[in-house]
Chains A and B, each alone.
Chain A
Amino acid sequence: MILSRRNLIASCLAKALTVLVLLMGSSCGQTVRPLSIHDSRLPLDARRWIADAEDAVTVTAAWRDEAKEAVDAALQWRSTSVRALSWPTTTEATLAQTTLGELAEARIRLARLELALAEAELALAKTRRTQVNAETAVRYDLRYYDLEPFTEATRQARTNVESASRAVADQRLLVEEATTQWWRAFQAYVLAGGDPRVLWLGEQ
């Protein structure tokens, strides 16, 4: 895209304004300067503490990525292994098809809740990292921060994790219930003379 001179100036101004707003926003709260795990002013324990907090962020970020993939996998399963099946038109088949569809929806919902939990855990890890950096700086007289907001932020993040964890646990129960219903329906379908191959012939 080629910008005209006027558009170019407007674009630059917009960018400058955005940066200004971001700077103002960050200055309203406390900005914690991250400490290095190689900082020679810190004792080994403190450096380990910081490293653990850093590790927690890395690990939870990986969990979050896995959770995203799990959502994609659940959606993929629904489209290729649930919706693509060719069921006969018997009552038992219809019931089985319906319960399998419900199971798919329940699994997708669970995957999304697990993603939300993973994101909450990542947020908690990041908040905790900030808190650890601030506390360490204060403890070793490297910098002064008001620690209360960080403690509160961590507490809030932890509450979010607990809430997300509860939602996941609840949904997991629902998934198990749906799974039980599905296999009962499938069993009934087979006992009624239904062809079990239907599950193997999803995709052409």
Chain B
Amino acid sequence: MHRLNGPSERSWSRFNEARLPTKPSILVALIVAVSLTACAHAPLDVRDTPRVEQLRVRITKVRHAIDETRRTIAASQGAPFLPELYVRLAELLSEEARYHYQVAYEREGRSEEAVHAPQVVFLKEQAITIYRMVLRRYPDTPLAPRILFNISHEQRELGEYEEMIATLRQLVESHRESPLANEALLVLGDYYFDRSELRPAAEYYRRILRGGPSAVSGLAFYKLGWVRVNQGNCRAALQDFERAIIASKAWGEREDTDHDETLPSARGLDVRREALIDLTYCYGQKRKPEEAVSYLRRHAANRGVYIAALERMGRRYAVMEQALGALDVGRELLRLAPDGPDRLEDARMVHTALRRLQQWDRIGDDTALITEALLRGIQRPDVSPSERERVLQEFEIYVRDLLTRAQASLLDKSTTDTNQARQIARAYSQYLDAFPFNVHRQEMVLNLAEVHAMSDEHLDAGRRYLEAASLLALAIDGMGPNGARQEEGEDDGDASRRDPEELKEERRSSLYEAVVHFQQALENGARLRSVDRVVARAGLRRAGTALLRYPIHTDRMRQVSFAIAQTLYDEGQHRDAIDLLTAVAYAWPNTTESKAAVHLVLDSFRTINDFEGLMAAGHRFLAADGPVDAALRAEIQPIVKAAEQTRLDEISLAAAGDTGTGIEELEVFAERYEGTDLGERALINAFVAARAAGESERLYRLGEEIAQRYPSSEQLPGILGTLGRTAVARYELDRAVDIFRQAAEANPADRVNLLVATGSLLEQLADLDGARDAYQRALDAAEDRAHRDVPAARLAKLLERMSIEPRQLVLILSGLSDEEPEVISRLGLAQLRVGDAMTAESTLHGVVAAGSASSEALARAHYGMAEAMVHILKEYEPTEDVDSLHELIALVEVTQQSYLNAARQGCPVFTPAAFARLAHLNATAADRIENLPLPPDLTEQERSMLERAFATRGELLRQESQNALQACREQAWSRQIFNPAARVCLAGEIADSDPVAFENPSPRRQTGDVDGLEELRARLARNPEDLDSMRELGLRFLNAGHHHVARLVFARTARAGGGSIETNLLGVASYLAGDITGALEAFASAADGGLDSGRENLVRVLNELGLEQAASEALERYEVTSSGGLLIDAAGVRRGES
């Protein structure tokens, strides 16, 4: 409480820690002490307290100091510092006096009444005597102000007030510039203030202020402020207190503050603090309460001062019943002040103020301040349990009272004040946290939920409704909020005392509200944090499940059931979501929720990448008894279809991996969707995967399945083509032929090519009739000339090799093509063979003139034209004139040129044939020229000249004939051409007729496949250039009697880089297949590579053909550099037996 009659007690402590008694009191004390001593029979052995012991020690020490100072004084007479020594001595005496007083004070039990200490007076008087002696002896000493101030101090403590005033006035008058002058004025002012002589007191204080800023200016203002208070002038007092604060602050902030510590006023009193605290009295009367907090904060030096001032101000407003000020100050105190019993008072003050003001805009914050202060307060160890309980109950009522009033105020408003609602919600939360097991909890939770709902805080509303439902469930079971069973009559406010049916109804309502608000929260999900969404979903499931246990309308049941299922979907618990959403779809078909559930089910499957599941669920929904109507059916059908495609893609992708697993899954998929586009695609993808994995058997099987199940598939031709190529690559040639035929049937667009491929294969397998049929069918299938050329050429070539009667051949070839050089050139030769040289010459000339013929066709054409010329030449009979002779020679030369042109084309068939026939032409031409009849009208000289010329010419032609023959032979040795034409030359014969002939392999006796080749084929599938595997495969065919196939394998091996061994094997296979030309050529190639067996086989076959001379020449020509390889005899089969 404030003091109205003077400065606080603390302000006087600047003089001494313990004030000395006045003179009468000392005397009384002395009398009492003497009488007590006289009455005593024996001294009591009183043991001094530690404090007294400490004082005794100090007395001893100060006495030592006194003795030492005296000795020093005695030894320092005349020294300039002697006055200081005297002053020091006096101060020591004064100090000893003070200790004696304190000892006496302690021994009197710290009683202020009477202190018996005679030595105190003695010592102080002695000190005064020394001070005065110094002033007398050294009147000009600078220590004079200090001496005078000390004398006044001693006089005051000895109760000599008049002397004290005189001393202080002397100090002020004679030493005005000394800092102690202001101190003296302050003491004088205080003296008069204590005597309630306010006017002289104020005058002394003003004299201090007139002297300008000083260490005591703030104190002077402060004292002056109290003078104004006591004069009843609060307005002036406020100003003086504010000035005191300002002056103290200004003086404290100046730079040279050190010396102030020596001044008595600098010790003991914090003017800024005291002034601020003491001004609150007048502030409450003269200033606005709503500005009080900011005012105090602005003037407070630190937090401690601020709190102290607020406390004083709070008490003041409480007394004044000024609610507004009390509320602000109370809030600030609860916010900033340290814990203590006063805080509960502050909380009560805030509650009272709030009730009075009905100010609810910060009720949340206020409740927080109150409950936090409460909880901190009751947790203090000095609070007993009963007190704690009492205070808790008291404040529970306070806070509940505030909250219900605040909510009532909110409900009274026409529109919801969202900010106020949020404050009330916060207040309820604070209440529930502070009083967790209060019997009113359930009501408060419901109130809170309602407030949350009003402020659109749906998540919190849902949570609180759910909590209320849980509390109601406890109440239904007869339990309180803490889960403990309530005893009879325990608390009238307890919900468990209510009618159970009423409680159940209330719980059902709470659960429904919880579901609704959780749903609304989730609908505004964008504003929710992740954790809030999780809470909302979990809460909705809990509330919804509990709600479903009550009797409930069907619509609401459906909505809640769907909402629960949807939370699982939103949360990513798709498996569980699928089950419950599907149940919604089946339980309430053709409703909004059902339709949404169907979509969510499918979407869940898609999200977890379970397209199998999606497809199955989709088909169930789409089934006749499914829960979807026509519109929904139309919506989900594309989804299911897309899923099927995606699933197929997935399986296909898996099957396309390097492990090759997953093809079976594709087959299963294809079987499931047999007859549909999807099934077809699955089967095709399985086919592709099998091809990539090199699983040929599976490839064939899948290809056949595709052909059977999907004969009109667009992919079938490609698949059959792939199968055919695979079969060829695996040397399953019969199968390849079948597949190509099948492919030709299935693929009209590519039928020509496929039939040509079939014919080509059959040719290789020595099935010439089959090949002819295939080419013919290809020709028939060709729709235009561009497509006819290839099969026509192939057919023409085949017919050329077959033993067909020339006239029939002319007939057939004439119908094949009238432009294709391959056909026309063969037609020309055929015409020639039937004796129609003129027509043949014309036909062949067309080939040469066309300019687009292949070298083989050109060779054939030139050869044919040469043969035609030979035919003409043979019938040409020259007459006996010179022109006729020239004509004959010209004919010969033209024929020679034609043969040479044919030979120049490099064709293996016609080059040796052309040379062979050229040899014959030259030989016969030589005979004819040498035997030509000479014209009869020649002179002898002319006759002789002509005969010599003809002889020379004949000789030249014979030489050319031999050269041509030799060139023909060389074709065999240099180019390894051993066809019948070449062989004629090798036999040293002159071909007097067309030597061109074709040897066809003998028909196969072994068809089908050879067992046990799968591993080799697999190796070749992985690496088609694997020579070892190819050679092994060819040998397996060779040993099994499949010579034609072996021939193809070895031919491929040789092309792939095989050496002499493989070429020799090709020769063996060819020989055994009846292809003598091929065999000779392969053996010659092997022999040329230095292989012993190659040369031996070559010699063996040449001898067999009667070409002993050529055999001998082979032995000479080919040097053996390596041994090994297969001999024909070792093959165990003779030519043509396969």
Which residues of A are at the interface with B, using a C-beta cutoff of 8 A? 73, 77, 81, 124, 158, 161-162, 165-166, 169, 172, 176, 179-180, 183-184, 186-187, 190, 196-197, 199-201
Contact = CB atoms under 8 A, between A and B. Distances in A.
Residues of B contacting A: mostly: helix
A200 B625 contact: no
Contacts of B564: 200
Nearest to A197: B548
B616 interface: yes
Nearest to B578: A179
A200 B575 CA distance: 15
4 closest Cβ contacts across the A-B interface? Answer: A196-B587, A176-B616, A197-B548, A199-B583
A201 B661 contact: no
Given A158-B659, A169-B668, A190 B545 contact: no
Nearest to B564: A200
Given A77-B575, A197-B561, A200-B561, A183 B582 contact: yes
Contacts of B999: none
A136 B612 CA distance: 39
A81 B576 contact: yes
A165 B659 contact: no
Interface of B: 544-545, 548-549, 557, 561, 564, 575-576, 579-580, 582-583, 586-588, 612-613, 616-617, 620, 625, 627, 659-662, 664-665, 668
9 contacts: A73-B575, A162-B664, A165-B665, A166-B664, A179-B616, A190-B587, A199-B580, A200-B548, A201-B549
B576 A183 contact: no
Given A73-B575, A187-B625, A190-B586, A201 B664 contact: no
A190 B589 CA distance: 11
A162 B660 CA distance: 10
A165 B544 CA distance: 41
Contact of B588 (A166, A180, A196): A196
A162 B665 CA distance: 9
B587 A184 contact: no
Given A190-B587, A196-B588, A197-B561, 11 more contacts: A81-B579, A124-B659, A162-B661, A165-B664, A169-B664, A169-B665, A169-B668, A176-B613, A179-B617, A183-B586, A196-B583
Contacts of A184: 625
Contacts of B588: 196
B586 A161 contact: no
B612 A172 contact: yes
A174 to B, nearest CB: 12
Contacts of B659: 124, 158, 161
A158 B582 contact: no
Contacts of A176: 612-613, 616
Contacts of A172: 612
Contacts of B660: 158
A68 to B, nearest CB: 16
A187 B575 contact: no
B790 to A, nearest CB: 43
Contacts of B549: 201
A53 B662 CA distance: 19
Contacts of A161: 659, 661
Contacts of A169: 664-665, 668
Given A196-B583, A197-B557, A183 B620 contact: yes
B650 to A, nearest CB: 13
Contacts of A165: 661-662, 664-665
Contacts of A124: 659
A80 to B, nearest CB: 10
Given A165-B662, A200-B561, A187 B548 contact: no
A158 B561 CA distance: 46
Contacts of B548: 197, 200-201
Contacts of B545: 200-201
Contacts of B664: 162, 165-166, 169
A74 to B, nearest CB: 9
A196 B561 contact: yes
Most buried by B among A73, A124, A165, A183: A183
A131 B426 CA distance: 68
A199 B583 CA distance: 8
A153 to B, nearest CB: 14
Nearest to A100: B579
Nearest to A168: B665
A59 B612 CA distance: 22
B586 A187 contact: yes
Contacts of B620: 179-180, 183
Contacts of A162: 661, 664
Contacts of A199: 579-580, 583
Nearest to B586: A187
B845 to A, nearest CB: 61
A73 B574 CA distance: 12
A184 B586 CA distance: 9
Contact of B586 (A73, A166, A186): A186
A190 B554 CA distance: 13
A186 B544 CA distance: 21
Contacts of B583: 186, 196, 199
Contacts of B587: 186, 190, 196
A186 B580 CA distance: 12
A176 B544 CA distance: 30
A145 B152 CA distance: 115
A77 B573 CA distance: 12
